Structure 1
Amino acid sequence: MNAQTERIAKTYDDLPYISGCFPQSAPEHLRAVAYLFGLDAPPLHQARVLDLGCAAGGNVIPFATRYPQATVVGVDLPAVQIEAGRRAIETIGLSNITLRQGSIADLDASLGQFDYIICHGVYSWVPDDVREAILRVASECLSPEGVAYISYNTYPGWKAKEVVRDAMMLRGGGRASQEEGLAYARGMIDFLHDTAQPGSLLEKIMDDNIQMVRHGDACYLNHEYLELCNSPCYFREFLAKAAHRGLSYLAEAEIASMFAGNHGRHTAELLLNECAGEQVVLEQLMDFINNRTFRETLLVHDKRADQIRYRLDPSRLVSLHLAGRYVPQPDNDGRWQEVHSGRAVATGPDTQQVIDALNEAWPATVAVEALVRRVASVSRQAAEEVESSVLKIVYSLIISNAVRFRLEPVIAPPRPIAYPEVPAVLRRLAELRVSGDVPLTLFNAWHECLVTLGPVEQKLLPLLDGGRDINALGEIIGRSVANDELHFQRDGKLLVQPEDIAAAIEENVRRSVQWFAEIATLAASSETAPAGKPAPKRRDRKAQ
């Protein structure tokens, strides 16, 4: 390990990221993407997962929670984050995950083979020898049918951002502390923004980045723009280095970026004519069109490259499980909008049935086969025509990033919820976070971070053990109000009347439980109540 690597590790110890999860890197998603393009990746229930640059483990703890029979290993150099992660893992009771402190450059095949290798937010931000080691480890330690995920900064989009980084480094680099360095760096960008010549390229660059620099998270800005290393590359350059290690391109984690059709018919025709059927050429061209700055690339062993099929096979779509949440477009033009991606969806009778089914099930998935049956139940078309119609809808939703997809179902409790239950690991993690010294985010069944919790949600989450109904939870919140720990307002005024406070408590508890259900946080084992009826009385479990 060289001195530069040690200096980088120290900056992360001094200013650690809050360690969280990245949905596009979830092994469930990687397996489903591989399947779409013709490859069968290892099953998840006993999968071996390696996270290179794991910080405190925030991107693999959720997977270890969902799959207790899987084996998870995380490796990172900053000792402060590794120790914090180890303490949290021991406290929350996970036995299938291990965090190792050390340099990626020191790893070799003796580490063992892994079905899924994840390296998020590391490749572009480390010295050359560590970048080379990432690809070497991805090759040596990837199981024969495994999938590796590596994210990195890319050109051409980072050409302009390098102007921002260079200017920030000019004034902010080498300062006594990271806080001081960022303050000086922000001042430099303010200066350039205010003095750039009208109509100049510099003015355009500053206008595009000024809000991010002024208001961005200090941790992100320090590690992205003031770190010792930040080495973007072109997509094809990255693949050439991967090929040197016997790795081939499979796909992007966000597959919508792979399809020319998302650029409109005219542009798509030009792109497809230019690339002559070469997927890598097509995507490099689209990187220029989109001025792309960041990629999340999936790699497999070279010997599997001939099995990859970029024309999606309808017979494989049938095996998927889908999820999505849709609302009418604001202009009410008859189209729908997927809530999380913001993608618009044109509707017709069959599409409307699909959207209705997905909305009813959210946040759980619906099997594509079930969608076919639902449309067939109201359609006058022949069975073959119905299946063809539904598969075309599924194809359109997937390639436009307007639906989530998995090979395994994501299960959520039906509503209304009588006795809400959050997985025990998540409850324990929520309790740990109260102390304020755990650099880990909470997470849901979709491998997403729960970034912000309100005061009521923070109080409730550790209590949702399946043994308390809405009334019991309301009583606990009531005691918090009586102890001056929580307060409720209406129209900016503090509520003081007992009846007003009681009404506010009931409203907030019900709304919070509903919110936990909608964001896929509640366990599938949460007990439900028939609609319109009171929650059943529980005698088999006591609140703890």
Structure 2
Amino acid sequence: MNNNDYDEIPYTKHIYKQTQPDNLATIAALFGMQPPPVATCRVLELGCASGINLLAMAQAIPQGEFWGIDLSVQQIQEGQANIQQLGLHNITLKQMDIMAMDSDFGQFDYIIVHGVYSWVSPTVRAKILQVCHHQLHPQGVAYVSYNVYPGWHVDTMLRKMVLYHVQQLEKPQEKLAAAKTLLHFLIESIKHKYDTYSLALKKELIRINQLEENYFFHEYLEKYNEAVFFHEFIEQAHQAGLQYLADTKTLFTAIAAFIPQTEILSLNLIEKEQYFDFLHNNSFRETLLCHQAVTLNRDLVPDKINNFYIAAPLKLTTGHLLNNSLNSLETTAKLEPNLSEQFETLSGRMVLSVSSPLLKVICFYLGEIWPQSISFEDLLRRVYELLIKIDKNRYQAILAPPHIQEVKTMLLEFYLKDIVELSSYPPQFTLPISERPLASPIARLQSQRGNQVTNLRYEVFKLNLATRAILKHLDGTHDRNFLVEIMKKNIVEEKLLLYQGEERKALTEIEPSELDSHLSHQIAEILQDLAKKAYLLA
């Protein structure tokens, strides 16, 4: 890793939901581990860049302790400035070489290494795994991402092409400019060719030509970017005293569909994962590791659901509950077993058809409270209260052990299919909107810098100018009258151009007596949208 390269062309990292301690702890617990409590976890990120991923953790887990190191002076300084601006006291960023890591840093519950392993020398790769072994809690989890074959073979070819073209250049910006010129030349040269090689090459050239420049440079022009086969990485991890826990990208769902075919070859778990890569041309892995001394239980029994919070983005689309709310489930006929209800995820993907009265109301309830999470115990209690309200005699015994076991089985199955979310430490946000709304500090910071803003569930939404103009002022001290004045100021200064009605009358043309009312209504809609998208804190 070249320090000057990362200072001259900083690598932009983001907030990665898959690396958050809650996600790592949840997966570990499902496999029989006893991961350290997320609420008080100690986390290390190697190659943290400006630390935005760690900042999100530090904001979400105030009793945790977070450390990040990176070689880039510029990015660490940027991260330290952000820490000061956000007022966080549980995070430390240090400019240093990974090779300088030693036992003085102590032990960590979770170690994150995202976008580093493939991009450093073999010596540093060995050190990364050494740190993951020597400084990981006995029941801790390490996350390491890396490029893999066979999918990265084409990228390796393209990387060697651009490296050959820029071999006489030294300055990063010169290399970047020359590489982009080469891509344009190659695309133009084969745009009218339709043989197999040209079509495949054209597809990849167009893809990488559309990458952000900082990403393109560090992926294709850095000194190191060595992909490995999955089984090679696991062997390296094994030599360092670590074992394979899971992979966040192919977790359960992909491999489960592939398992029946593997019986022909009598493959073990690692071989199944490797053959999955062969068949799907996988190019990137996000692997979780733990100590070899840990005894894993990969039998995902339904009773494990007891220990988690549950959330599901379900939307009722057809059936007899369609026009009801939580307070209007009135007639027993609507819950007859022979009457099915259809549910989709919010993305519009049909996921299930349910006929059991208990399962119907559970899915309905989870959809109604989304994006909030609820413990399994509370979920059963609240659904039971709804059913008793409908018909006490009919549903008095609805929570008999066989019915509860059916619910656990369903929820676990839906988790494996990426329909239901499980959490050991659910995100902290609020849906009710206070008189002086408070938004995530990181979201407020990001809203000043661009339209991609991360919420408290670690999801990224593209927010428009009007929403960002409001969001950046939601620090818990401003009421709606203040927000109206902010909107007026932005309109006067022509930073915002808003319209009213189907005739799209510009707000500058509206009578002053109408303007406040219109802006108040619009701000109410913006706040409601921000709440539903999990940007607001209690």
With structure 1 as the length reference, what TM-score do the two structures score? 0.84
Question: Which of residues 74, 81, 86 is equivalent to 2:80?
Answer: 86
Instruction: Classify 1:37/1:258 alpha carbon distance in 2 versus 1 (closer, same or farther; 3 Å).
Output: farther
The answer (yes or no) to whether the contact 1:197–1:203 under 8 Å persists in 2 is yes
Change (3 A) 1:507 1:226: farther
Q: Provide the residue aligned with 1:159 in structure 2.
A: 153
1:182-197 superposed matches below 5 A: 182-191=179-188, 193-194=190-191, 196=193
2:440 maps to 1:399: no
Separation in structure 2 between the aligned mates of residue 75 and residue 93 of structure 1, nearest angstrom: 19
Equivalent position of 2:509 in the other structure: 497
Structure 2 counterparts to residues 356-505 of structure 1, below 5 A: 356-374=364-382, 376=384, 378=387, 381=398, 383-415=400-432, 418-424=435-441, 427=444, 429=445, 434=448, 442-449=453-460, 452-489=462-499, 494-499=506-511, 501-502=515-516, 505=519
Residue in structure 2 matched with residue 204 of structure 1 by the alignment: 200
- Partner of residue 346, structure 1: 352
- Using a 3 Å threshold, how does the CA distance of structure 1 residues 288 and 419 change in structure 2: closer, same or farther? same
CA contact (8 A) 1:56 1:84 kept: yes
Asked whether the 8 Å contact 1:168–1:189 carries over to 2, the reply is no
Residue of structure 2 in register with 1:20 after alignment = 14
Q: Given the alignment of the two structures, is residue 322 of structure 1 paired with residue 334 of structure 2, yes or no?
A: no
In 2 relative to 1, CA 403–382 (structure 1 residues): closer, same or farther, beyond 3 Å? closer
When residues 356 and 230 of structure 1 are mapped into structure 2, their CA distance, relative to the original with a 3 A threshold, is same
Unaligned runs of 5+ in 2: 323-339, 388-394
Residues 172-181 or 113-122, more deviating = 172-181
State the Cα distance separating 1:410 from its structure 2 match: 3.0
In structure 2, what residue type is equivalent to 1:64? A
3-state SS in 1 of match to 2:92:
strand
Cα distance in structure 2, aligned partners of 1:335 and 1:273: 37
* Alignment check: 8 A CA contact 1:192 1:206 kept: no
Q: What are structure 1's unaligned runs of at least 5 residues?
A: 526-544
Q: Please say if 1:355 is aligned against 2:363.
A: yes
Q: Distance in 2 between matches of 1:465 and 1:335?
A: 41
Give SS of 2:23's match: helix
Partners of 2:91 and 2:451 in 1: CA distance: 15
Contact persistence 2:11–2:218 (CA under 8 A)? no
Q: How far off is 1:361 after superposition?
A: 1.9
Q: Is the 8 A contact 2:103 2:135 kept in 1?
A: yes
- State the 1:107 CA deviation: 1.4
1:288 maps to which residue? 278
2:516 equivalent to 1:510: no
1:511–1:164: structure 2 CA closer, same or farther, 3 Å change rule? Answer: farther
Quote the offset at 1:57 in angstroms: 0.6
Alpha-carbon distance in 2 for matches of 1:40, 1:308? 10
Q: 1:365 touches 1:411 (CA, 8 Å); kept in 2? A: no
Provide the residue aligned with 1:530 in structure 2: none
| C-alpha contact (below 8 Å) 2:149/2:283 kept by paired residues | yes
Kindly indicate whether the alpha-carbon contact (under 8 Å) linking 1:20 and 1:449 is maintained by their aligned counterparts in 2: no
Residue 440 of structure 1 and its aligned partner are, at CA, apart by 12
The equivalent of 2:337 in structure 1 is none
Identity of aligned residues (%): 29
Q: Residue deviations 1:137-169, cap 9 Å, x none?
A: 111111111110000111111122223323333
For residue 23 of structure 1, what is the amino acid of its counterpart? K
User: 1:300–1:440: structure 2 CA closer, same or farther, 3 Å change rule?
Assistant: farther
Is the counterpart of residue 50 in structure 1 residue 47 in structure 2? no
What does the per-residue CA deviation read over 1:160-219, in whole Å, with 9 as the maximum and x for residues that have no partner? 222332333333555452441342232244146426552x24422432x24422322222
Which has the bigger relative contact order, CA under 8 A and spacing at least 6? Answer: 1
Superposed displacement of residue 268, structure 1:
3.8
Question: Structure 1: how far apart are the matches of 2:274 and 2:224?
Answer: 24
Which whole-Å CA distance do the structure 1 matches of 2:91 and 2:228 have between them?
33
Answer whether contact 2:313 2:419 (CA < 8 A) is retained: no
Alpha-carbon offset, residue 227 of structure 1: 2.2
CA distance, structure 2, for counterparts of residue 334 and residue 440 of structure 1: 38
Evaluate the alpha carbon distance shift between residue 38 and residue 440 of structure 1 in structure 2; reply closer, same or farther with a 3 A threshold.
farther
Write out aligned runs for 1:140-159 (5 A): 140-159=134-153
2:217 matched to 1:222?
A: yes
Judge conservation of contact 1:456–1:508 (CA < 8 Å) in 2.
no
Out of 373-382 and 165-174, give the one that drifted further. 373-382
Q: What residue in structure 2 maps to residue 30 of structure 1?
A: 24
The amino acid of 2:293's aligned partner reads K
AA at the equivalent of 1:314: P
What is the count of residue pairs matched by the alignment?
500
1:169 partnered with 2:163: yes
The residue type paired with residue 531 of structure 2 is A
1-structure distance, mates of 2:158, 2:532? 39
The amino acid across from 1:367 in the alignment is S
| Distance in structure 2 (CA, Å) of the matches to 1:259 and 1:203 | 28
Paired with 1:328 and 1:361, the residues of 2 have a C-alpha distance of 13
**Residue 113 of structure 1: CA displacement?**
0.8
Q: Secondary structure at the match of 1:413?
A: coil
Does the CA contact (< 8 Å) of 2:313 and 2:367 recur in 1? yes
Question: Corresponding residue for 1:249?
Answer: 244
**In the alignment, residue 277 of structure 2 is paired with which amino acid?**
D
User: Would the aligned equivalents of 2:44 and 2:66 in 1 still touch at CA under 8 Å?
Assistant: yes
Partners of 2:226 and 2:176 lie apart in 1 by 23
Residue deviations 1:94-136, cap 9 Å, x none? Answer: 1111111111122122321111100000001111111111111
- 2:255 alignment counterpart: 260
Q: Is the deviation greater in 10-19 or in 72-81?
A: 10-19
Q: d(CA) in 2 for partners of 1:168 and 1:328? A: 51
Work out whether residues 148 and 299 of structure 1, in 8 Å CA contact, stay in contact via their aligned partners in 2: yes
The 2-side partners of 1:212 and 1:501 are apart by 46
Q: Is the 8 A contact 1:259 1:399 kept in 2?
A: no
**In 2, Cα distance between the equivalents of 1:215 and 1:9?**
25
CA, structure 1 residues 16+440, in 2 after alignment: closer, same or farther (shift >3 Å)? farther
Indicate if the aligned counterparts of 1:260 and 1:271 stay in contact, CA closer than 8 A.
no
How far the C-alpha of 1:273 sits from its partner, in A, is: 4.5
- Report if the CA contact (8 A) 2:498-2:506 is conserved: yes
Is this contact kept in 1: 2:313–2:366, CA < 8 A?
yes
1:225-263 Cα shifts (integer Å, max 9, x gaps):
2222111111110010001110011111245356533x3
Deviates more, 1:291-300 or 1:309-318: 309-318
Q: 1:272 to 1:383 in 2, by over 3 A?
A: farther
Between the aligned partners of 1:192 and 1:37, the Cα distance in structure 2 is: 52
Question: Secondary structure at 1:157's aligned position in 2?
Answer: coil
2:317 and 2:342 in contact (8 A); partners too: yes
d(CA) in 1 for partners of 2:454, 2:433: 22
